C-alpha cells in the first residue's frame, strides 16, 4: 500500500509556496518530501519537523539556528539549504533535491564495494565534513543513510539536523542523539562529540563499505553500545582476506577508541585517505569483494534515536563511574530468574535504607546538607583530556564543556586549567569546564628528512601539525620510502594543526634498458640486472619480432623508473602473413607507395646504366604472401 496517500501534507501547498508532491523518507525527527518551489519553479527537498517536536520551543529555536549555520556551508559535497520557515505546527527546511539513492541503498543492493569505489565515496564525504569542521561544526550523525549518491555520480552529505558547534556541550538532558552503530565511545560515555566523533563514524562507514557489514552487531542497541566501548573495530582484511594493509590502517586510525589517537578532523583524515590510496596498486584498488557479506538488515541500531545514558546506582557517592558496563547476554532460561532475584534485591535494599534513615533521623539530614552535597575539584593540571574526564567522573562530577587555548608551557592535549579550579569546593552533582592546551601558538616544522612516511607523520602530529598531501619523486640521496623534504620546509613557523605536505623518495632513478626483440628469459635477466622486475602480459600480439620474442615493453627503453619497479612485457606471436601486391610494370614511386600501404618495407635495386623507371621484377611475386613489415625489393629494367 502506498503510505504517501495517507500523509496529510502530500498534495498541499506549504507556506503558500511549496507544493508537496511525494514523501521521500521518514526519520526520528522529521519527514522529507519532494516538493516544488512554485515561485522559482524548481524541485527541492522539504524537511518537515514532526509536529510533536515542534511544540518544544527550545528544540525549534535550535533547529532554526543550526539550519542557518549549515546554510553557510557553500560546499559542492554538502546538500544545500535554501530556506527555512513555519506554517502552524509545521516547521520546515527547504533543501537541495538530489535525484539518486543513498549509500545505504547501494550497500543493501551490492554488499561490499571495491576499495576504489569505497574511497571514491569516502573522500567527498570527508571533504564535506572537513568544510563543516573548519567552519566550527560537527555533524554527529554520519551514517550511510546520510550519504547521497546522485544519478550523475556526485556524492553529497545530508542531514546536518544534529549539527552542533565544535566545543559546545552536545548533551544536556542525559540522553545521546545519534545512530548506535556509528557512535564514538565518547558520545556514548560522556554525551559529548567533536570533530573526532565524525571521524570515528566515517571509519565505521568505510569498514562497512569494504566488508558489507558493520564492525559491531547485536540483537539490541545495548549490545552494540557495549562493543563500541570495549572492543576495537576489527581490521577489514579479517573479514575480506586480501584487502590491502593500508585500508586496515585507515580504518584503525579513524576508529581508535581514544579520540586522541584519531585524525583530529575530517581534513586530516582526508589527507590520510589520499596518502593510503596513492600507495595502493591498481589491483589492490580494484579487488573484487565477496558479495555474500551484504547484510541488508534494518535493525534497531540503524536508526537515529534518543538513547538514555546509563547512570550507575551509586551516582551520589565519591567513587561512582559513568562508564556503561554491560554483562554478556544470559541464555533465555536464565533471564527470568535473574529478573526475579533483581526485584527481590531491590525490595530488600529499599527496606534496609528505610530502616537506617529511621534510626539516624534528623542527624542524617544535617550531615547531607552540610557535607554530603559538596566535594572538591581534583587536581587536573597536565592530565590528558580523557584522563581528566575519567578523574572527574570518579569524583561524581561531569564535564560541562571543553575549551582550547594556546600554551607555551603546557603540553598539547593536556589540561591548562579548570573552572572551578583544582581544590575548589563544588556540589557533588555539579560540572567542571576544562581548558585544554593546543600547544604553542606558533610551532616549527620539525626535520623529518630521512624518516619513513609513518614516522614522519607521527613526528608532525607530535609537534602539533597535521600530515598533508604525499607526493613521490626520484632521489639519489634519500632511500626509497623515506621523506625527502616537507612543504613548508623544516623550521618554518606555522599555527598548530596546519597541514604539512610530504615528498617521499622513490629511490635512485633507473634507466629502463631496451629489451624489444629479446627472448623472454633474456629480457627478464636484463631487467633484473638493472634492478627492475619483469611481468609478462598474458596477451600476445603480431609484430615484426620473431615468435616468442618481446614485441613491446612499458615503460619504453630509456625511460626512468624506480629501483624495484615493474616493466610489462608483451610477447610476439610473430609477424602476420599478408598478400603481396603485384607492382611489376609500375613506376618506382607508385610501386613503393602500393607496397608500403600494404604493410611492407621497400628497397629499390637499379642496375648499372639503367635508364628506366619501371619495375621489371620484385623479390616476392605478386599474389604470394610475406610477413607484415618485411622488406620487398623491386628492380628496374637495365640495358
- DSSP class of 197: H
Strand order in the sheet with 90-96: 13-14, 18-26, 30-37, 42-49, 90-96, 81-87
Angle at 569 between CA 564 and CA 571, to 5 degrees: 155
Cell 523518507 belongs to residue:
25
Catalytic pick among 37, 56, 141, 198: 141
Nine cell digits for residue 564: 624495484
With CA atoms as reference, report the closest residue to 157 among 170, 168, 172, 146: 146
Q: CB 434: neighbour CB atoms within 10 A?
A: 21
The H-or-E segment that residue 281 falls in is none
Helical residues (DSSP H) of 212-331, grouped into ranges? 221-230, 236-239, 245-254, 266-278, 282-285
Cα 6 to its chain centre, rounded Å, is 39
Cell 556526485 belongs to residue:
154
- Is 278 within 8 Å of 470 (Cβ atoms)? yes
The 3-state DSSP class for residue 224 equals helix
Cβ contacts of 71-77, under 8 Å, gap ≥ 24: 72/135, 73/128, 73/131, 73/132, 73/135, 73/137, 73/160, 75/127, 75/128, 75/131, 76/154, 76/156, 77/124, 77/125, 77/127, 77/128, 77/131, 77/154, 77/155, 77/156, 77/157
Angle at 396 between CA 391 and CA 398, to 5 degrees: 75
DSSP per-residue letters across 103-163: HHHHHHHH-S--HHHHHHHHHHHHHHHHHHHHTTEE-S--SGGGEEEETTS-EEE--GGG-
Give catalytic status of residue 141 as yes or no: yes
How many Cα atoms sit within 13 Å of 394 on the Cβ side? 9
- Is 488 within 8 Å of 445 (Cβ atoms)? yes
Please tell me the total number of residues recorded for the chain in this structure: 639
Rounded to whole angstroms, the Cα distance separating 151 from 107 reads 16
Question: Could you tell me how many helices (H) and strands (E) the chain has, helices first?
Answer: 17, 33
- Is 609 within 8 Å of 639 (Cβ atoms)? yes
Q: Which residues are catalytic?
A: 141
Amino acid at each position: 500500500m502506498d503510505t504517501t496517500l495517507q500523509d496529510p501534507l502530500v498534495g498541499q501547498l506549504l507556506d503558500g509556496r511549496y507544493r508537496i508532491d511525494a514523501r521521500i523518507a521518514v526519520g526520528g525527527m522529521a519527514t522529507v518530501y519532494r516538493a516544488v518551489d512554485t515561485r522559482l519553479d524548481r524541485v527541492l527537498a522539504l524537511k518537515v519537523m514532526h509536529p510533536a517536536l515542534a511544540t518544544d520551543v527550545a528544540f525549534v529555536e535550535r533547529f532554526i539556528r543550526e539550519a542557518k549555520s549549515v546554510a553557510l556551508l557553500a560546499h559542492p559535497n554538502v546538500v544545500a539549504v535554501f530556506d527555512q520557515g513555519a506554517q502552524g505546527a509545521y516547521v520546515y527546511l527547504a533543501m537541495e533535491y538530489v535525484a539518486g539513492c543513498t549509500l545505504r541503498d547501494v550497500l543493501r543492493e551490492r554488499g561490499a564495494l571495491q576499495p576504489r569505489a569505497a574511497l571514491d565515496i569516502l573522500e567527498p564525504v570527508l571533504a564535506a565534513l572537513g568544510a563543516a569542521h573548519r567552519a566550527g561544526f560537527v555533524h554527529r550523525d554520519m551514517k550511510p543513510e546520510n550519504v547521497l549518491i546522485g544519478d550523475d555520480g556526485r556524492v553529497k552529505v545530508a542531514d546536518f539536523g544534529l549539527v552542533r558547534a565544535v566545543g559546545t556541550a552536545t548533551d544536556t538532558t542525559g540522553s545521546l542523539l545519534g545512530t548506535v552503530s556509528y557512535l564514538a565511545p565518547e558520545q556514548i560515555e560522556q554525551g559529548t562529540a567533536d570533530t573526532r566523533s565524525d571521524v570515528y563514524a566515517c571509519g565505521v562507514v568505510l569498514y562497512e563499505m569494504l566488508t558489507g557489514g558493520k564492525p559491531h552487531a547485536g540483537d539490541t542497541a545495548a549490545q552494540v553500545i557495549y562493543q563500541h566501548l570495549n572492543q576495537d573495530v576489527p581490521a577489514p582484511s579479517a573479514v575480506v582476506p586480501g584487502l590491502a594493509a593500508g585500508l586496515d590502517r585507515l580504518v584503525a586510525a579513524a576508529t581508535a577508541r581514544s579520540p586522541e589517537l584519531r585524525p583530529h578532523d575530517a581534513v586530516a583524515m582526508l589527507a590520510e585517505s589520499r596518502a593510503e590510496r596513492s600507495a595502493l596498486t591498481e589491483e589492490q584498488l580494484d579487488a573484487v569483494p565477496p558479495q555474500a557479506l551484504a547484510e541488508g538488515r534494518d535493525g534497531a541500531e540503524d536508526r537515529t534515536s534518543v538513547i538514555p545514558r546509563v547512570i550507575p546506582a551509586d551516582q551520589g557517592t565519591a567513587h561512582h563511574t559513568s562508564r556503561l558496563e554491560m554483562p554478556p547476554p544470559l541464555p533465555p532460561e536464565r533471564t527470568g530468574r535473574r529478573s526475579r532475584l533483581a526485584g527481590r534485591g531491590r525490595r530488600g535494599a529499599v527496606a534496609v535504607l528505610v530502616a537506617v534513615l529511621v534510626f539516624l533521623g534528623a542527624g542524617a539530614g544535617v550531615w547531607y546538607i552540610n557535607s554530603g552535597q559538596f566535594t572538591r575539584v581534583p587536581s587536573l593540571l597536565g592530565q590528558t583530556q580523557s584522563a581528566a574526564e575519567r578523574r572527574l567522573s570518579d569524583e561524581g562530577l561531569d564535564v560541562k564543556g571543553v575549551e582550547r587555548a594556546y600554551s607555551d608551557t603546557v603540553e598539547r592535549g593536556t589540561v591548562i586549567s579548570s573552572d572551578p579550579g583544582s581544590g575548589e569546593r563544588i556540589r557533588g552533582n555539579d560540572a567542571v569546564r576544562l581548558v585544554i592546551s593546543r600547544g604553542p601558538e606558533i610551532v616549527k616544522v620539525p626535520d623529518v628528512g630521512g624518516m619513513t612516511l609513518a614516522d614522519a607523520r607521527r613526528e608532525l602530529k607530535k609537534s602539533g601539525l597535521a600530515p598533508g598531501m604525499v607526493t613521490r619523486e626520484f632521489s639519489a640521496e634519500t632511500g626509497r620510502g623515506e621523506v625527502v623534504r616537507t612543504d613548508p620546509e623544516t623550521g618554518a613557523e606555522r599555527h598548530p594543526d596546519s597541514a604539512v605536505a610530504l615528498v617521499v623518495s622513490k629511490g635512485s632513478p633507473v634507466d629502463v634498458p631496451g629489451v624489444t626483440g629479446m627472448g623472454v628469459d633474456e629480457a627478464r635477466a636484463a631487467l633484473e640486472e638493472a634492478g627492475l622486475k619483469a611481468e609478462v602480459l598474458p596477451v600476445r600480439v603480431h609484430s615484426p619480432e620473431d615468435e616468442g620474442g618481446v614485441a613491446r615493453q612499458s615503460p619504453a627503453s630509456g625511460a626512468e623508473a624506480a629501483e624495484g619497479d615493474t616493466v610489462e612485457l608483451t610477447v610476439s606471436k610473430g609477424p602476420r602473413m599478408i598478400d603481396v601486391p603485384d607492382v611489376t610494370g609500375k613506376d618506382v614511386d607508385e610501386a613503393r607507395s602500393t607496397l608500403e600501404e600494404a604493410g611492407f618495407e621497400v628497397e629499390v635495386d637499379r642496375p648499372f646504366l639503367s635508364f628506366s623507371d619501371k619495375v621489371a621484377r620484385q623479390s616476392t611475386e605478386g599474389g604470394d604472401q610475406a610477413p607484415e613489415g618485411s622488406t620487398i625489393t623491386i628492380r628496374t629494367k637495365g640495358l
